[in-house]
Structure formats: structure tokens, C-alpha cells
Amino acid sequence: MNRIQNLISQIKQQRFYNNQITDIITIPPVPPIYAEPDDNLKTLRSWDPSIERLYIHQAEACRLVQEGRNVIITTPTASGKTLAFNLPILQDITQTPGTRALYIYPAKALANDQLKVLETIKERSGLKFEAGIYDGDTESHLKKHLRDEADIIITNPYELHQILPFHPKWNKFYKGLKYVVIDEAHRYKGVFGSNIAMLMRRLKRVLAIYGVNPQFIASTASIANPLEFITKLTGEQFESVDKNGAPSAEKYLVLWDSSFNPQKSVHTQTKDLLLFCAKSGFQTLSFTSSRRMAELIRMWANAEDRSTDILCYRAGYDPATRREIERKLKEKEVLGVVSTNALELGIDIGQLDVIILSGYPGTISSFWQQAGRAGRKNNDSAVVYLPHEDALQKYLLHNPSILTSKTFENAIISTENPNIIMGHVLCALSEAPSKSKKIFDDIDASPFVDAMAGHGLVTETPRGYIYSGARRPQDTVPLESMGSGTVKIKINGRILEEVEMSRACNECYKGAVYIHNGETYVIKELNLESGEAVAAKEDVDHYTEPMKDEDVEILKVKKTRDCTGYRLCFGDVKVTEFFKAYRTKKAGKVISCDDLMMPPLKFNTEAVWMEFDYKIVSLIKSAGLDFDGSIHAAEHALIALSPLFAMCDRNDIGGRSYPAYGDDGNPCIFIYDGYDGGIGISEKLFEVFGSLASNTMEMVTNCGCEEGCPYCVYSPKCGNGNNPIDKAGSLIILNYLI
Amino acid sequence: MYNSPMEINNDFLNRFRDNSGKKPHKKQVKELPGEVVERNGTRFLVTTTSKTFNGFTLPEREFFDKSYSDSLELLYGIRDNKKKTIADRGIRNLHDAKNNEKFSDEARRILSALAKDIHAVKDILGARFSPSHRLFFLLCAFFKPEELLFIDIETKSLFFETSIIEIGCGYFEGKKFTVKQFTCLKDAAEYEVLEEFGKLLHGKKAFVTFNGRTFDIPFIDNRISYYGGISSAADIPGMHNFDLLHFSRCCFRNEYDSYRLKSMEVNLLGKERDGDIEGSEVEIYYNNYIESGDPAFLEPIVYHNREDILAMVELFERIFDRWV
């Protein structure tokens, strides 16, 4: 029996254990696959003799970069991706003076890590090059120095968004710019990613002024569609490097069903596990869903046992504190840490013995990013997964093969959302005039240019189209949201967060409990006209949800697929959401219901929908089942599993089922993007619909409940309080879809 | 997804416009205050007015040279106290310092700049003094009044990602001071206006501005870069700039609460403008003009800009009176 098997058998003897372990999956060790020694290895060893070999993916990526291709590297955390692009870039920079590279990182901490990596290479190799971080914290005299002298500038998308208009000052850097590195590219998904896609096109447009067409190198965590994704993000053709050569030790995936011990909440069980593993001498890191939970688990653990000092790590701590915890983890000075997903990103903390995932982090990709923290060289490790109360989370507990086969989600971004494009068109035109109305190579902005010229924000001149508004567009166009209507949530006059109009209607009505970074706030006032909500910090243990009706109107059918008994469609729709009331719930029970006075929310978006033959109604009715409840339940189940296929959050999509829709009166189920203009989720669901339907069928069939539960056909955000619901009938409908 | 015809919601549009909600007051004006020029299909307005300034002069070069060589602070390490100490030892100016063993080399180097050009002198001054120092103002002794170009721009916002509405310039021909203003009649005319402005640079060697160091000059620079350069304006980087805001702050230190041009005009020059608008209101008036085509919205902008330029000439004279 090895260390981990021994640990598991000890867990089974603890008082908190009540047969929660439903399965243990052994993930076999993978030996390293090295590339044949080549010139790159020789170069590398001349820089650092301690390096023995290159893994195949590193060698392959180097070769492609040297051939001048755009490359995307899709290998797991800690597989040495950074080296794969640093090697050829540094080689080029040191051989051809004046060659420059721009590294774009989604977060400050990652930029710092990359700078450290480069400084280390420099120190060991004695290579002469200059690299620096250029962001909001960089002092202005240093900024000028970096622009004029640095070979490598590391920045983030927010800074890039702000500095593009200053391109004349960047003239020297841009003229020599040969490489643009987009590391951790999977972070650029959804609305944020769609904004970054436009930012990349603006960057390319500015570079074209200087006659520069750089090579792009991207790295991402595992996703199903790296090439499709990166092409949308950059508008460039890429070569994919995905054959991983890095080794991994044996790993155990422990599946833990907390409902087997109804006396203790899933969070208490997380604390028990964390504390026990740490006390047994296994360095353990537990990921939780919120800051508040992270703090609570640490508090409970330390109250129970002072001898093992459990630490907490989350965003919001000052950088020095975080660096200290990272160091303690790396140097094995601490045995137990509980963290939010703040530690998921590529921050270097070394490898640990046990990772506890309390709650599913939302995507399979994130799951393995977090789980990837386990597994010391040649040492086995364990990953414990404790799902929270949710259909998808529980589904994965019973179908761990989805996790282990690593069939990843598709990362979704859209280059067609009018709200996003419009803002960036204005930014682009403020950076340089455009002779062509199209503006971008691969996105036709003409309709936007025409529309905004009609409103005086764009003007046609003999020099091309120019921006003619009165506000700096870079300050007005946010990267995290759509830029159309937003609501600022304020607390004591300070802005807590700015959210989309639709999210504000759904989560920030007067009386709502709003959760921000794991803290609870109560909304005191919502003014949609002025775009402001007033919140107060209140520690509450209840939550609220709106009761609403949706109405979906088809504007344009763009794709259809005829299937037996139903027709699958994709297209543009107009969604109207009517807010009726909101309910206050505590521990799943409704404690009050209050009226809501709000105007309906209308937006145009994209949807995928199923139009059924009418005969399905008689089929269900003849079985003595409730049709309205059946179609409603089927809708919920389909939405629950959608995030498995399109990398998104359940809150990013909405749904509406009609027992009888439109003039024909046929039953219909709509699933739509919850964003004005659409973000590409429904389009992806249309593509993968067959798999979505069969997985959903399997989930509902295998759920042990009789009449439906949060693990199958109940939706936590149903506007009708999950009423009516008929699980048995939903199975007939789902069966129909396969 | 594209909807056609494209609808853009007003919320979105308003974020890029002036949304202060202020309503402009119209003056009773029927005609555009100047001559309309059409070029490349765009239109701009040229307004030319003039005024006589009898007393406008610049200091003599000898005056500068004396003030310069009297400035012992140009020597490294010499400030007020030290100055007294060495004055007691008979060193009253740089020429005296030349004969002192300790200061000789440095004093010679500093004085030798006078025999070179304004750039050499500027380098020496820049190493020891802030740009608002009296000696920087006295550099005007290197120029003739005809070589100065007073400028002031009106813009859509404080950020150069937005465009210039108007460039006002003033220059001397003898005692006659001419104000020439170029105003875009369509947003499209900015390039042509910059081009016209560039033509006026011919024969000019220095700008006189109010806050031009941080605003007007870089703004113009950036707008020219935005269009990829304008050949007529290629000389801008070589021009010297006298920024009266900085000189006012230094010259009248602790005398006024505000050093904005308008308050200097009231407090120092004892003048009050009749029905003038605020600089921040320019864009509102301009927008109204673009939408309605009514000259009554444009006239206040042209008036405001001209008054600013004329006030700069008087302010220049007051600083001269105090410092020369």
C-alpha cells in the first residue's frame, strides 16, 4: 500500500466518514516523452547546463516559432509551456538586435512571475536583453525607458487598451515588434474574451501603420477547440501544439458524495478532510467557491485544532501576504491552505500531495488546472472532489469519465456582437483614421460606421473615417462588459462593481441579496435610468431570487436542422423578461415573497431552439403525464449540462419552454445567450446539440430521485420556482431529441 | 448578429457625447463671423481681426546676458545663503566667479553658452532652474516680436483621442497684432485646419501659450501624428514655447487665489468679458452648431478663443513689466 492508499484507508476510519467515497479512480503515471536532441537543446544548454532534455511539445513549439508560424500550445499546467516560447524568442532577440516581443498576461501576478522567469534565464545564461512590466503601476520615467529600450514588454489587456492611441510614442518598439505572446489565453472567453478579440484587431491595425505584421504565440489550458478559439481571438491562422511530453506521477481521483453524511454540510466535510490530511503530514490545498467560505473553513479548522496552522489565500489580501503564502507553500512550510480560485492561475507554488475541490470550478479545464496542483515528481498524489448541490456537479460525480477522459469544453467568444464591436470601432478610429469603412481585415465594421456616422460619432473626411465624439473612447469602453447599458453598484458612494443591465435586473433589484467576491450585500435602491444601485454590506445567510416570465420572439432563423419529430434552429431572437416578484430563501426554503416593480427587460440575442411536432403532446398526455411540466423540466436539464459543451456559466444562458408557441402552436424549447447581441454560446450548442441531448438524457435517467431534484431537473434560477415540473415526462422529451 | 437597419441605443451614444445637459445661450448673430473656405470637400472658417499694441516690446539681448551672468545660482551648489557668503568674498556675478579658482571652470562653461545659441543657454538653465523661472521668460530676448506666435486651441475634450475644433493664432507685424482663427465647420475639417495653422509657422520661432506645455502643444502634436503627419507643420518640434501659466504662477506667486487665464484677466488686468462662455462649454456650443448649422452657436466659441489670445498678449506685457 502506498502513501495515498494508506491515507485513504485512514480517512475511512475517521468519525466524519460515512461512506462518502463513491469511487476512487487511479490515473496512471505518464512517463516523459523527450524530443531528439537538436540545436535548440544545444542553445538552451549553453544558457543553462542543468537542463537535460526538451519535451516533445517544447521542441515542436520552438521549431514552429522558428519557422515563422503562429503557434498555440495546449498542454497542461506545469508542462513547461513558457520555456517553449521564451527559448526561440530570446534566441532571436539576442541574435538580431532590435527584435522585440510583447507578452500579454491576464493578471498582474502572472506578469510578475513571467518577469521573474526571464530574469532568471538572464542571470544564468548571461544573455543581454531587457524585459520589463508596463502597466498602470509602472512609473512614468520607467515607461519611457521601456518603450525606447526594452526588448520584451510584459503588459495586460487593460493597459494595452489604454495605450494604443499613444502609438507614435511607441514607434520604436512597434517597428521592431516581431512576437506577440498571449499566455493563459483561455482566460479570454465570453464577454471579456470577445472584447479582447477586438483589442487584438486594434493592435494589429496600429502595428500595420508601422508596417509590422507580428507572429502570434499563444498558450492555453486544455480546451476542446484551441484552433477555432485562437483564430477568433486574433484573426490569424495558427498551428496547434497539443502533444504533451511532460511526465506525471500516479494520481488518485477520489469522488466524495457529501450527502451520505446529512449531519454535516459539504463545507464542514471539506474542513474535516483538509484538517485530517494536513495533520497526517500531507501538504493539502483546498479550493472553495467563495472568499467567505475560504475564511470560514480556515476559522473552523483552526478552532478545532490549533496545532496545524491552516492558512487562507484569496484575492483581496495585499500582495505581500499572498507572496508569503505562496512562498510557504513552495517551501513546504505550511501543510494546509484553503483558497479561492485565485490560486488556480499559473502562479508558481510547487506541487502538493492532496488537492480538495469543494465544488466544481465551472469548467473541466479549471477542474484540471486546480487538480494539476497535485502531484510531486515521482510521488503519488490525490484529488478529492466534493460536488455542491447542483445538477451538473452531481452529474460529474457519477460520470467521472467525463472528467478523466478530459473531453474539454469549447471556449466561446464572439466576433459578431454588435454592442462589443461598436465600442471598439470608436476606439480604433480614435487611434488612427481608416480609409476603408470595413476597418478590420476580418470583421466588417461598415454597418457600425454608417450607423455611428448618422449620430455624429464617426465622420468621413478626405483622410478617411475619424472618431468625432467628445469622450475618450478607451475610458468609455469597458473590457469586462458589453458597454451598452450598465449599472454601477455603489456602497457608501464607492463603486463596488459595474454590471450589465440584464444582470442588474436579475440580481440587483431593491431587496436583493447580492454576492460580490463571496461577501453578501443587500441592495437598498435600484435606479435603472441613472444606472445606479445602492448596496449596503450586511452579513446575511438568506438569498433572493426573482420570479419572472420570459417571452421569446423569433427575429431571424439562421440555421436549421431537421431531426425526427422536431426541428432544431439557430437564429436571432428578441427576449422580454417580466419581473413579477422576488423570493427570499434560507437553506432552500422560501421564507418570504415580495412584489417587484420593474419595467420589463428587452434585448435581442441569439438562441438555439427546438420546434416539436404536436404529436409529442399526445404521447405525453396519453402516458398520464403533465406536458407543461415535462417540457419545463427538459429545458432545465438541457441548460444544466450546457456548460459542459460551451465554456460558460449557467447564468450566462437563459431558457424558455412553450407548450404551444406562435401561430402553429407547436411545443418549443428556447435556450438563449443571456447577453444583448449574443456571445456565441447558442451557436456552439446548435453544433454540439446531439451530444448535449444524450448527456442530458443520461443525467436525468440516472438521477436517483423520484420527482425531480436540484441534481437533475430543478433549476436554481428558475423564474417560476420550478413549477410545474414533471421529471418522467421530461425523459420522454429528451428521448425524442436523441 | 447584425440587425439592419442598425439601431443604436441612446444610452450607448450618450457615453461618447457631452452629457452635462447644459443648454447653450444663443447670441443674436445671423452670420458666420469670418470667411468660409472650402477645401477637399470640407469647410472651415477663417476669422481675421487685429488690434494695436503700442507698448509691446521684448527685452534687449544685453539685458538677458546681464541677468544671466548675474545669476550665481547657475553655479552648482549655490543657493541664497551661499550666494551671500561668496558675495562677501567679492563674487557678485559669473564674471567675478571666472577669476575664482574654485568656480573658474564652471563659470567659464556657463558663460560660454551665451556665445553659442538659445539651445545651449536653455540646457544650462534647465539643469538648475524650473521652466517657470524668470530667466526662462527672459529668453524672449532671443526673439523679435514678429517671430512669436500666440496660440490657443479649442477641443472636444481634454484628451487628444478627440479632435480639435478651433486653432487661434496671434502675431505681430510692427505694432499691429493680428488674430487669425481657423474653425472647423464640419468635424471633417480638422486636418485642413491643422494644415492652415502649419502655414502660419513660416518665419515664426516661438510659441506663446497659456498651459501650452501640457495641453495645446502636445494636443496639436498628437493630432498631427493621428493623421500620420502634416508637412506644413513639420517645424513644430523645433519651436520654443513660452508658457504664460507657469510664468504667472512664479511671477505673481502668492498674490492670487487662481491662476486660470480668466481670473488673471479679472484680477490682474482688471477686465471682465461680456457674455463669454467657459472653455468646458465649447463642445456643447459646437455640437449645437453642427446639429443646427446656426451661426449663433459658433460665434461664442470664436469670441472666447480670440479673447483668450488677446489676454495672453496683455499678460505677457504684465510679466514683462514685473521681470524686466
A438 within domain boundaries:
yes
Q: Would you say residue A40 has pLDDT above 50?
A: yes
Least Cα separation, residue A556 to chain B (angstroms) = 10
**Which three three-digit cell numbers place residue A163?**
495605450
* A161 and A274 in a common domain: no
Mutate to test the interface with B, among A427, A463, A481, A673 (most CBs of B within 10 A): A463
Contact A422 B291 (CB under 8 A): no
Verify that A280 and A185 share a domain, yes or no.
no
CA distances B77 to A412, B82, B147, Å, are 64, 8, 36
pLDDT tens string B260-299: 888 888 888 888 888 888 888 899 999 999 888 999 999 9
Q: How far is CA A68 from CA A171, A240, A581, B313, in A?
A: 23, 14, 59, 60
| Total residues belonging to chain A | 738
Are residue A651 and residue A570 in the same domain, yes or no? Answer: yes
Q: Please, what is the average pLDDT of chain A? A: 91
Residue A31 falls within a domain, yes or no? no
What chain A residue is nearest to B41 in terms of C-alpha separation? A462
ipTM: 0.91
Give the number of beta-carbon pairs within 8 Å between A and B. Answer: 119
Q: What is the pLDDT of residues A16-28, one digit of tens each?
A: 999 999 999 999 9
pLDDT score, position A587 = 66
Residues whose CB is less than 8 angstroms from the CB of residue A152 and which lie 6 or more positions away in sequence, other chains included: A89, A93, A100, A101, A102, A103, A118, A129, A130, A131, A132
Domains detected in chain B: 26-57+143-323 (3.30.420.10), 62-128 (no CATH)
**pLDDT bucket at A517, cuts 50 / 70 / 90:** low
User: Is the confidence at residue A121, as pLDDT, over 90?
Assistant: yes
- Mean pLDDT value of segment A661-674: 92
Q: Which stretches within chain B are classed as H helix?
A: 10-14, 61-69, 80-88, 94-98, 104-115, 118-128, 134-138, 190-200, 216-226, 244-251, 261-267, 282-292, 295-323
pLDDT higher than threshold 80 for residue A516: no
Which of the given ranges, A314-318, A348-352, A676-680, B149-153, has the highest pLDDT on average?
Answer: B149-153
B166 and B305 Cβ atoms separated by less than 8 Å: yes
Which pLDDT value is given to residue A651?
78
Query: Using the beta-carbon criterion (under 8 Å), do A484 and B12 form an inter-chain contact?
Result: yes
Contacts of A431 in chain B (CB under 8 A): 161
With an 8 Å Cβ cutoff, are A456 and B287 in contact? yes
Is A461 in contact with B15 (Cβ distance < 8 A)?
no
Q: Does B10 touch chain A (CB under 8 A)?
A: no
Q: Give the mutation candidate from B3, B8, B16, B39 for the A interface (greatest A CB count, under 10 A).
A: B16
Closest C-alpha among A65, A194, A3, A67 to residue A683: A194
H-helix or E-strand spanning residue A507:
helix A501-507
Q: Which residue on chain B is closest to A466 by alpha carbon?
A: B188
A218 and A95 housed in the same domain:
yes
Average pLDDT for B225-253:
93
Residue at which a domain ends, from A222, A241, A260:
A241
Residue B89: what pLDDT? 85
A331 and A280 assigned to the same domain: yes
pLDDT of res. A48:
87
Locus of grid cell 465551472? A362
The per-residue pLDDT for A233 is 97
Band (pLDDT 50/70/90 cuts) for residue B257 is confident
Compute the nearest-CA separation of B2 from chain A (Å). 6
Give Cα B33 distance to the centre of its chain.
23
User: Which residue in chain A is spatially nearest to B161 when comparing CA positions?
Assistant: A430
Count of domains observed in chain A: 5
What mean pLDDT do residues A715-729 have? 87
| The pLDDT of residue A240 | 96
Which candidate in B15, B38, B159, B231 is best for mutational testing of the A interface (most A CBs within 10 A)?
A: B15
DSSP for A666-710, written as a single string: EEEEEEEESSTT--SHHHHHHHTHHHHHHHHHHHHHH---SS--T
What is the average pLDDT across A425-436?
Answer: 97
Confidence of residue B48 (pLDDT cuts 50, 70, 90): very high
As a whole number, mean pLDDT of residues B149-153 equals 98
Residue of chain B with shortest Cα separation from A528: B11
Written as one letter, the residue type at A406 is K
Q: Check pLDDT > 60 for residue B259.
A: yes
Q: Are A601 and A514 in the same domain?
A: no
**pLDDT for position B4:** 46
Q: Is B255 on the interface with A (CB under 8 A)?
A: no
Residue A386: inside a domain, yes or no? no
CA torsion, points A299, A305, A354, A320, in degrees to nearest 10? 50
Cα dihedral A68, A69, A72, A76, rounded to 10, equals -60
**Residue B2: per-residue pLDDT:** 47
Q: Is residue A721 part of a domain?
A: yes
The answer to whether residue A404 sits within a structural domain is no
| A449-500 pLDDT tens trace | 999 999 999 999 999 999 999 999 999 898 887 766 678 899 998 888 888 7
Mean pLDDT, to the nearest integer, of A594-610? 92
pLDDT of A101:
98
Q: How many angstroms separate the CA atoms of A182 and A233, rounded?
A: 10
* B76-109 tens-digit pLDDT: 888 878 888 888 888 889 999 988 888 899 999 9
> What is the per-residue pLDDT for A345?
67
For residue B226, the chain A residues in CB contact (below 8 A) are 432-433
pLDDT at A264 over 60: yes
User: Do A462 and B187 lie within an 8 Å CB cutoff?
Assistant: no
Say whether residue B118 is in contact with chain A using an 8 A CB cutoff.
no
* A389 neighbors A360 (Cβ within 8 angstroms): no
Asked if residue A229 and residue A81 are part of one domain, the reply reads yes
Confidence of residue B21 (pLDDT cuts 50, 70, 90): low
> H or E element: which one contains A344?
none
- The more confidently predicted of residues A346 and A697 is A697
Q: Is the pLDDT of residue A447 over 70?
A: yes
Query: Contacts of residue A476 in chain B, CB cutoff 8 Å?
Result: 15-16
Asked whether A680 and A412 are in contact (CB, 8 A), the reply is yes
**pLDDT given for residue A710 in this prediction:** 83
**Calpha distance A269→A15 (Å, rounded):** 11
Render pLDDT for A153-203 as a digit per residue (tens, 0 to 9): 999 999 999 999 999 999 999 999 999 999 999 989 888 999 999 999 999
Q: Are residues A260 and A284 in the same domain?
A: yes
Query: What is the tens place of the pLDDT at every residue in A536-593?
Result: 999 888 888 888 889 999 999 999 999 999 999 999 999 999 998 998 887 667 889 9
Last residue of a domain, one of A241, A264, A289: A241
Cα(A588)–Cα(A542) distance, integer angstroms:
9
Give me the pLDDT at residue A718, please. 83
For residue A282, give the CATH number of its domain.
3.40.50.300
Cα A233 to Cα B84: distance, rounded to the nearest angstrom: 69
Structural domain including A630 reads 549-587+597-737
Contact B40 A466 (CB under 8 A): no
Do the Cβ atoms of A678 and B1 come within 8 Å? yes
What is the CB neighbour count within 10 angstroms for residue A671?
Answer: 24
Quote the cell numbers at residue A24: 476512487
- Contact (CB<8Å) B191/A463: yes
Q: Which residues of A touch B184 (CB under 8 A)?
A: none
Tell me, letter by letter, the H, E, C secondary structure of A72-102.
EECCCCCCCHHHHHHHHHHHHHHHCCCCEEE
pLDDT, average across residues A318-343: 88
Q: Is the pLDDT of residue B18 over 80?
A: no
How close B17 gets to chain A, by Cα (Å)? 5
CA dihedral of residues A533, A539, A541, A545 (deg, nearest 10): 0
Q: Is residue A58 one of the residues assigned to a domain?
A: yes
* Same domain membership, residue A565 and residue A500: no
Read off the C-alpha cell for A698.
Answer: 443520461
Q: A474-488, A721-735, B1-15, B61-75: which has the minimum mean pLDDT?
A: B1-15
Q: Note whether A436 and A583 are same-domain residues.
A: no
Residue A209 lies in a domain: yes
A82 in any annotated domain: yes
Domain shared by A490 and A465, yes or no: no
Angle A99-A100-A105 from CA coordinates, rounded to 5° = 155
Facing B227 at nearest CB: one of A433, A471, A483 = A433
Residues 204-223 of B with CB under 8 A from A: 222
User: What is the maximum alpha-carbon separation in chain A?
Assistant: 81
Tell me the pLDDT tens digit for each residue of A368-385. Answer: 888 988 886 678 899 999
Residue B37 identity (one-letter amino acid)? V
Q: Which of residues 32-71 of B touch A (CB under 8 A)?
A: 40-42
Q: Which residue has the higher pLDDT, A503 or A18?
A: A18
Do residue A462 and residue B191 have CB atoms under 8 angstroms apart? Answer: yes
For residue B38, the distance in angstroms to the closest alpha carbon of chain A comes to 12
Distance of residue B228 Cα from the nearest chain A Cα, in angstroms = 8
Q: Which residues fall within 8 angstroms of residue B31, CB to CB, at 6 or more apart?
A: B295
Check: CB of residue A467 under 8 Å from CB of residue B161.
yes
Whether A558 and A518 share a structural domain: no
Give the strands of the sheet with A381-386, arranged side by side. A21-27, A251-256, A381-386, A354-358, A284-287, A336-339, A311-313
Write the residue in A422, A461, A467 that is nearest to B161 by C-beta: A467
Q: Among A196, A221, A241, where does a domain finish? A: A241
Mean pLDDT score across all residues of chain B: 90
Q: Which residue of A has its CA nearest to B186?
A: A459
Please indicate if any CB of chain A lies within 8 Å of the CB of B156.
yes
Q: Which of B161, B221, B222 should be substituted to probe chain A, the one whose Cβ sees the most A Cβ atoms within 10 Å?
A: B161
Determine the length of chain B: 324
